[in-house]
Amino acid sequence: MDWGVHMPHLGRRVTGEAIMAFAGECERLGVHSAWVSDHLCWPADIVSRYPYSDDGAFAPSTDMGWLEAVGTLTFLAACTRKMRLGTSVLILPYRPPVLFAKQLATLDVLSGGRLIFGAGVGWMREEADILGMPWDQRGKRSDEYLRMFEVLFRDAAPEFNGEFYRIPQVGFEPKPLQQPLPVWIGGNTNAAFKRTARYGHAFHAAFEPLEVVAHGWSRVREACETIGRDPAQLRLSLRMFLDPAGAMPAEQSIAGSGEQMLETIGKAQAVGIDHILLDPVARGGAPGRLDAVRHFMENVAPKL
Contact 138, 87 (CB under 8 A): no
Q: Which of 197, 62, 229, 50 is nearest to 125 (CA)?
A: 50
Gap between the Cα atoms of 221 and 228, Å rounded: 10
Burial class (CB in 10 A: 0-12, 13-18, 19+), 35: buried
Would you kindly state where each structural domain of the chain is located, as residue ranges? 2-303
- List 186's β-bridge partners, or say none: 204
SS3 of the chain: helix, strand, coil, percent, to 5:
45, 20, 40
Amino acid at 208: E
The CA distance from 3 to 276, in Å, is 5
User: In this structure, are strands 10-11 and 65-66 parallel, antiparallel, or unpaired?
Assistant: antiparallel
Tell me, what's the pLDDT at 12? Answer: 86
- Distance, CA of 229 to CA of 128 (rounded, Å): 33
Choose which CATH entry (3.20.20.30, 3.30.70.260, 3.40.720.10, 3.30.70.20) describes domain 2-303: 3.20.20.30
Whole-number Å distance between alpha carbons of 116 and 132: 27
Coil, strand or helix at 13: coil
Per-residue pLDDT, 59: 82
Measured CA to CA, the distance from residue 24 to residue 12 in angstroms comes to: 21
> Is there a contact between 303 and 267 (Cβ–Cβ < 8 Å)?
no
Distance between CA atoms of 255 and 218, rounded to whole angstroms? Answer: 26
- Hey, which residues does 87 pair with through a beta bridge? 36
pLDDT < 70 positions in the chain = none
Cβ partners under 8 Å of residue 234, min gap 6: 196, 197, 200, 201, 202, 203, 220, 221, 224
pTM recorded for the entire structure: 0.97
**pLDDT tens digits for range 182-235:** 999 999 999 999 999 999 999 999 999 999 999 999 999 999 999 999 999 999
Please state, in angstroms and rounded to a whole number, the distance separating the CA atoms of residues 276 and 1: 7
